Every structure is written in C-alpha cells, then in structure tokens.
Chain A
Amino acid sequence: MNTELNFLECGLFLLKGARLLDPSAGVDSCEDLLVENGIIARRGVDLEVEGAEVLDLQGLTVVPGFVDLRARFGEPGREDRETIESGLDAAAAGGYTAVCLTPECTPTCDNAAMVEFLLAKSRDHAVTLLPLGAVTAGLKGERLADLGELARAGVAGYCEGNTGLHGAAALRGALSYSRMFGLPLFEFPREAGFGEGQVHEGLVSLRMGLKGRPRLEEDLGVQRGIRVAEFEEARLHLQLLSTAESVELLRQARERGVAVTADCSPQHLALSDTACLDFNPSTKLLPPLRPEEDRQALAKAAADGVLDAICSDHRPAMFDDLDREFPYTPFGCASLETAFAVAHKALVESGICQLDRLLELFSAGPRRILGMPPASLEVGAPAELSLLDLDCPWTYRGEEAQTLGVNSPWEGQSFAVRPAGMVNGNYLALRG
C-alpha cells in the first residue's frame, strides 16, 4: 500500500476518470473536471485540455469538500505534538479542504497577532486553516477576549477549547457579544464542578477504579446552552455531544425552533466505554466514551438530522505524553486521517444511514454552521473537493500517518473506505 501523499499546486489541472457525486445536487456521473485558477471551469466526458496537468482518478469518487469543525495542533507551543504543516497534511490525507483550529495553542489564540501568525504559517498549504478565537482571554474563563479584533483578524468562529464556558451568565454574555460579529460560537457543553473524571461514570469507571464523568455533567451543559440560545434568540453551536439525553434535548429544542446546532466525533459514533477497559490512553476522550446505548442514540441522531456535523476532534499527543500512568495522560486522540473511514463504518456499513447523509455531515453541515455556502461540483464553483476511495480495504498504522500524534484508538484496525486526497483551489493532494 503506497501511503505517500503528493501535493501539487497548479493553475490548470484536469481530473480524469473519477465518479462525481453530490447527492444534494443530484449529481452522480462519470465525468472529467477541469480546474482553472481554482474554479471548476469545465465538466464533461473525455475532456482534453492542452497544457493542463492531467490526473488519473480512476476508481475514486469526487465529493463536495470536507470541513472539520474542531482540531487541535501543537504550534505554537507544542510542535512536538503537531505542527501546522503536519496537522494540515493529516487533514489533506483525511480528505479535508478546511480545518477549524481550536485556540488551545501556547500562547492562546486570543489576539490578532496570533491569528495572523496561524494564517501566515498555513497560507501555502493545500488545506485552508480556519483559526477559532478564544472566547475568554487566555482561555481562563474570566473576561472576554477582544472578539471584535479577532473577527477582523480573520477567525472563523469562537471556541473555549476543552473547558467550555462555566455558567449560564458567562455563556449568555459571550453569545450576546459575539453575535455582533456574525461568527458562530462553539460551546463544549459541560456543567462545572464534577471534578476531573477520567472515563464515563458507570460500571467501567468502577471496574477501572477511576473517577468518572457522569452524563449529568454534559446533559446540564446542553440544557443550559439550549436555554441561553433560546433566551438570547441567537445561534449557538454545541460541540461533541455524547449522551442519549443530550441528543434528546437537542431534538426537542430543534422542534420548537431554537437556533442551536451540534456535532459529535467519529470516535463517539464508533466506540463505547468498554473500549477503555484496557487502560489504553488513546481511548481517554473528552467527553468520555459512553455506554453502548448512548453510542446508538448518537448514531441515530447523526443519521436522522438532529446532529448537523461530524468533527474530528483531532488532539494529537506524542509517545512521551502517553507513556505514563493512565490518569496522567492527556485527553483526546489523533483522528483527522481516520474520521471519514470510522464514521463510514459506524453509520453506513452498519446500515444506519446512507452515504448521502454521511457526506452532508462532513461537508454541507459544517459549512452551514460556519456560514459558508455548500461546496459544489458545478461549473463556476470554487474547487473544494474531497477525493474518496470507496473500495479500499486498509489498515491504520500510526507510523505511516501524516500526523505526528501517536494516540489513535484505531492503530492496527482495518477499514473499507479511505480518503485519497483533496482539491482546494489551485492545490491538490493525492495519495500514491
């Protein structure tokens, strides 16, 4: 298996032989695509264009480009975990055309200079980096960051990282102020004060002797988020739902018209808390992996439209971070390169939803939350495309991956489908 990822920057390239698939626009055909100056210039059968770089995409499927709503890299501060370049390479390998970066770098992304640094560092990469600004200065939860300055510097939204905003008053203030700038507020819903649990509170935490995190911690956070959004009549995006109760709260809120959206991670769609029993630090996530009944409720909510998006929640860590006693290891896993394959297995291969719906969760859904128009395969549209191999048995090996993170719960596991690369404007990444 050739895992090398090749990048190309070119003003004129011709994608030949692929299947074009955009279920939302009724597109499913075998046609060639000509990308000229970053725009889809022509679409047709057996195109011949002089001077164009020709790429044979036989066997691949071209779909509207994936956008990730939540990834963390290490630069600046922890470049050993992930640099901007290695993180964006991982995103390209995962089929993403754009990635939202949480503000949890060191120093925090809570000011224009940091946004400019991140944008400058990522400018020449195939994948677009979308920095998220911290909601509070230094992510300390005390006073609001300069959200207007962050907006002018080019953040895609606001996010308080893994801590969330503590308390309804803080969330209300942040939502009320941030809405002036027309950018989404991403909230990690969590009630404060439940302590530093390591895994879901239940039989698994009991058997492992670890402090647990009860569902209540999340459910109260979701309830608070919904009520605040409803009261303020403002949009709020809830990240990383994981319990049956929180998706039920969301369902009810949507039915009465509250402008609240939500996502979940592929990890929570595929794994339940028993995966933690072996004390593998790559299964230690926030929110924690939940029992099977929650996983099923979450998968159903992703399938039937209650959830809007699947985000990778990529949080790479290095060997030294993991080579410790379980309670001292960091939360999270490296997941950009496995997100689509894992979600496909959990939702499509298991018969819970069709590929159409999964593509929405990776592309149209996240773009809508960010206020971006849907990506399109039509002539005249910007070229923002994911390249998928929908018949590609493969095994995840961290040592062959683009990410520097070694904390994947999928090490050595096999999947049926795999992103083969992406096209973003003049840039293309392709495996093999």
Chain B
Amino acid sequence: MSGMEAEAPVGLKHKHLLGLEDYSAQEIHLILDTAESFLDVLERPIKKVPTLRGITVVNLFFENSTRTRISFEMAEKRLSADTVNFSASSSSTQKGETLRDTAANIEAMKIDAVVMRHSAPGSCLFLSRCLDSVIINAGDGAHEHPTQALLDLLTLRRRLGSLEGKRVTLVGDILHSRVAMSNIYGLQKVGAKVQVCGPAPLVPRHIQDLGVEVFWNVEEAIENSDVLNVLRIQLERHNAHHFPSLREYHEEFGVTADRLDRHASDELLVMHPGPINRGVEIASDVADSGRSVILEQVTNGVAVRMAVLYLLLGGKTREH
C-alpha cells in the first residue's frame, strides 16, 4: 500500500454506496482490486495505514448488527479515521426525532461519512438527499446490503478466479433477505449465474424477471451449483404462511453434509453471511467443513469496507 495516500482514487463514479444496482462491473472490480491490497495490510503486524487520518465516520445503526458494525468500525480504524458509533437503543429516535434531524445533528458536528443500517428500504437514499456527507449503506431493510455482496464477491474471486459462468445459489429466505438483491446485482455484473432456492412463499415470484433461476428442491440446487450462499432464517420475520416449522425447514432445505456428499461437486463452496443458525439452514458439519468459506468472508469484509471507505473518502484528505 505504499504511496496509496498520494494516489488519486479514480474510478468510482458515485459519491455514495447506496447499492450495487447502479454500480458498473468496472466499479465493482475496482473495489475488489483495492480490497485485495488492503488484505495485505491486514496480514502485517501493524494493521493500520494513515489513509483517512482526520476523516470522521459515523456508524449509524438503527437495527441490531454485531458483525457488520464491528467490521465497519475495524475498517475505519485501520484506515486511521475517527469513528463514532450510534445505535438506536441509546438514541434519540425513541424520543420521536426524525431520521433527518438525527442525522443533521450529527452532521453539524462536522463529519465526513455516515455508515447506516436501517430497517426501512430506501432510507440510505433518503439520507443522501438530506446530508452532504458520503453515505454508505450497511443494509436498508430487504433492499440492499452492498458491502456484504462485495465481500462475497471478493471471497469467491479469491477462491475461484473469474466468476464468469459460475453458478451461485442463494438458499433460504430470499424475500426478507437484505443480502439477496445486492448479491444478485453484483454477481450478475461480474458474469456469474445466480440461482435461488427456498420455500416458495419466501421466494419472490418476480425474481425470475431478473434472470434468476428458481429451485424448490435443495438437492437439485446443490447438483447445479458451484457455490451455495446459505441465508439466515430470520425467525422473527416468519409466520405460518411461510413455512410450518424450523424442523420442517431443516428437513426440506437444510444444507447438510449428507446432502452435499450425495449431490455436490467436490469443489462446491459454502458461504453464509452470518450469524448462522446451526441445525436450521446449515448443519454444523457443513459450517465447519473444508467447503465452508464463512470465516474468510468475515476477513474479506474488513478489507472490502476499507476499500469502499478509501475509494469514497480518500479524495477528501487531499482536498486540504
């Protein structure tokens, strides 16, 4: 990374990262290439570069998130940015303050970027219309979660090389997933074939209009996949119309070692955005197996977020 502070980070046409729907393949590759460089930094004894010194980033989390928040915070710290964490439980939102007011108050303290997690789809777009700061979407409802998709792409690219023509199947609750749409956009833009598999009520019917193939049988999906990205079953979002019980879900859709032994190619990789429900959507003997790249995803997450922060904010340090 030597000399990175002086390089102009050309290439991203966007001020914000609100989602991958509007990002080009070139921009996505630029982020991944940059993240590869940051992975090297993470292997050093001193895992910190001064790139964003003087930049202030606020992590505005209106929904619980452990992994994403820590990952962003770590990425910010390793770039030497100043970080402030705000979470809804300790926030003024419970006193009825609007999102605009909350954000505007924080921005008035002179910040450069907001990383936001919010349950409402479109809330990051809304925020970008309220503030001057750079906005990074850390998940807005079931809309987009672009850095998760980017870290998934980085993990696959490092494992498989080119993703051109690779068949990646998202397994589980597609309807409520904050990960699904960003993954579909990202994977398709880099040439992968996206498939989904899950209980029919949790698979939006119109997903096929996006060129996504649908499986209702997990074994058939496994046979036709190079990668399984197993999504978390979010217990709090389900009712009896979606599927009858966790037991039945596991019986019908659980990714188990037995199923993989019988139906998967030897090279098949298993991903999971976490947190995992062992014994529900994924069996322990899969999560902990050699096929699993779950912990690599976590490591890559920090590097991808460093890359995004660097590409969106690196220019600011040179303005002075």
Contact = CB atoms under 8 A, between A and B. Distances in A.
A208 interface: yes
A117 interface: no
Contacts of B142: 209-210
A203 B121 contact: no
Interface in A329-359: none
Interface string B182-212: 0000000000000000000000101101100
Interface string A197-213: 00001110111111000
A398 interface: no
Contacts of B209: 203
Interface stretch (A236-244, A297-305, A318-326, A368-376): A318-326
A328 interface: yes
Contact of B126 (A201, A205, A207, A325): A325
B178 to A, nearest CB: 8
A279 B206 CA distance: 19
A209 B204 contact: no
A201 B126 CA distance: 22
B140 A209 contact: yes
Contact of A206 (B100, B118, B181): B181
Given A324-B99, A325-B99, A207 B21 contact: yes
B98 A208 contact: no
Nearest to B174: A206
Nearest to A193: B241
Interface string B15-26: 000000100000
Interface in B78-111: 98-100
B175 to A, nearest CB: 9
Given A323-B100, A325-B99, A326-B121, A209 B206 contact: no
A210 B206 CA distance: 13
B120 interface: yes
Contacts of B125: 279
A291 to B, nearest CB: 10
A213 to B, nearest CB: 13
A327 interface: yes
Given A323-B100, A325-B99, A206 B204 contact: yes
B206 A325 contact: no
A205 B100 CA distance: 24
A209 B100 contact: no
Contacts of A203: 206, 209-210
Contacts of B140: 209
Contacts of B169: none
Nearest to B204: A206
A206 B210 CA distance: 10
B34 interface: no
B120 A206 contact: no
Nearest to B209: A203
Interface in A266-286: 279
A206 B121 contact: no
B112 to A, nearest CB: 23
B122 interface: yes
A57 B306 CA distance: 68
Residue from B21, B98, B118 whose CB has the most chain A CB atoms within 10 Å: B98
A422 B26 CA distance: 58
A210 B100 CA distance: 21
B88 to A, nearest CB: 13
Contact of B120 (A202, A205, A326): A326
A210 B125 CA distance: 14
Instruction: Identify the interface centre among A206, A208, A210, A326: most chain B CB within 10 Å of its CB.
Output: A206
Given A203-B206, A203-B210, A328 B181 contact: no
Interface in B257-294: none
B118 A325 contact: yes
Residue among B121, B140, B142, B209 with most chain A CB within 10 A: B121
B121 A209 contact: yes
Interface in B115-172: 118, 120-123, 125-126, 140-144
Nearest to A276: B122
Given A325-B118, A325-B120, A326-B121, A209 B143 contact: yes
Contacts of B123: 325-326
Contacts of A325: 99, 118, 120, 122-123, 126
Contacts of B206: 201-203, 205-206
Given A323-B100, A324-B98, A206 B122 contact: no
**A207, A208, A209, A324: which has the most chain B beta carbons within 10 Å?**
A209
A366 B63 CA distance: 48
B21 A326 contact: no
- Which of B126, B140, B207 gathers the greatest number of chain A CB atoms within 10 Å? B126
A187 to B, nearest CB: 26
Nearest to A203: B206
15 contacts: A201-B206, A203-B206, A206-B204, A209-B140, A209-B141, A209-B142, A209-B178, A210-B121, A210-B143, A279-B125, A323-B100, A325-B126, A326-B123, A326-B126, A327-B122
6 nearest CB pairs, A to B: A209-B143, A325-B120, A209-B121, A279-B122, A209-B142, A326-B122
Given A203-B210, A210-B141, A210-B143, 16 more contacts: A201-B206, A205-B204, A207-B181, A208-B121, A208-B122, A209-B122, A209-B143, A209-B144, A210-B142, A279-B125, A323-B100, A324-B99, A325-B118, A327-B122, A327-B141, A328-B120
